């Protein structure tokens, strides 16, 4: 019997991969796995990571402290209300006034993205779903959107991917919630 490390197959994420794949295939019929991966990555990274939010608040606080100082190394208190008032201006860009001083910010996108597994691990997940009989290859080939490698269109046309679809058994299967446990059983 195969055993798993403590964190494999049981952790919860905001967007669970198995149900996401199932829903994408139910909605779209057949798809190229790469397109499902890109859609999953975009869904997971819709919201910025905790680190990015913390860093943004720290930058706002530091800018407020610097603007409130009257002499070097002076200790200055900044309240949460002041940070909350300046935070939207920091994100959208613009001028925020503190006393008689102006803080001018460019628009900021919170770039700290949540981690997503590699495409290789995603394809292993697809293989696992295929092995469990939840999905099947269609035999049709299509160009995966956004596949990199060359800026020329010729590269995309030469590298076709086989589409997959959900099986009739896979539509309502509970195995999508945790493919590892469905394949190998509970941890030993």
Residue 18's SS3 state is helix
Per-residue pLDDT at 175: 86
pLDDT digits (tens, 9 = 90+) for 46-82: 777 777 788 888 989 999 999 999 888 889 899 999 9
User: CB of 48 within 8 A of CB of 110?
Assistant: yes
Residue 166's SS3 state is strand
Q: Where are the domains of the chain?
A: 17-47+116-184, 50-105
Per-residue pLDDT at 5: 47
Q: What percent of the chain has pLDDT over 90?
A: 7
Confidence of residue 148 (pLDDT cuts 50, 70, 90): low
Whether 157 shows a pLDDT value over 70: the answer reads no
- Rounded distance between C-alpha atoms, residue 162 and residue 32, angstroms: 6
Determine phi and psi for 174, rounding to 5 degrees.
Answer: -80, -10
Q: What's the whole-model pTM score?
A: 0.61
Higher pLDDT, 117 or 108: 117
- Rounded distance between C-alpha atoms, residue 144 and residue 9, angstroms: 28
């Amino acid at each position: 019997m195969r055993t798993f490390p403590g964190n494999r197959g049981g952790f919860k994420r905001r967007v669970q991969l198995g149900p996401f794949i199932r829903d994408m295939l139910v909605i779209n019929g057949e798809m190229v796995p790469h397109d499902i991966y890109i859609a999953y990555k975009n869904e997971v990274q819709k919201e910025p990571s905790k680190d990015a939010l913390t860093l943004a608040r720290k930058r706002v606080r530091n800018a407020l402290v610097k603007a409130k100082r009257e002499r070097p190394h002076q200790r200055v208190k900044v309240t949460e209300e002041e940070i909350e008032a300046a935070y939207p201006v920091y994100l959208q860009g613009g001028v925020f006034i503190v006393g008689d001083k102006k803080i001018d910010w460019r628009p900021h996108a919170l770039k700290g993205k949540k981690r997503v597994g590699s495409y290789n691990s995603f394809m292993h997940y697809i293989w696992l779903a295929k092995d469990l009989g939840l999905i099947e290859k269609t035999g049709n080939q299509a160009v995966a959107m956004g596949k990199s490698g060359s800026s020329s269109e010729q590269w995309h046309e030469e590298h076709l991917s086989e589409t997959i679809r959900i099986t009739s058994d896979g539509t309502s299967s509970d195995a999508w919630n945790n493919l590892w446990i469905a394949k190998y059983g509970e941890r030993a």
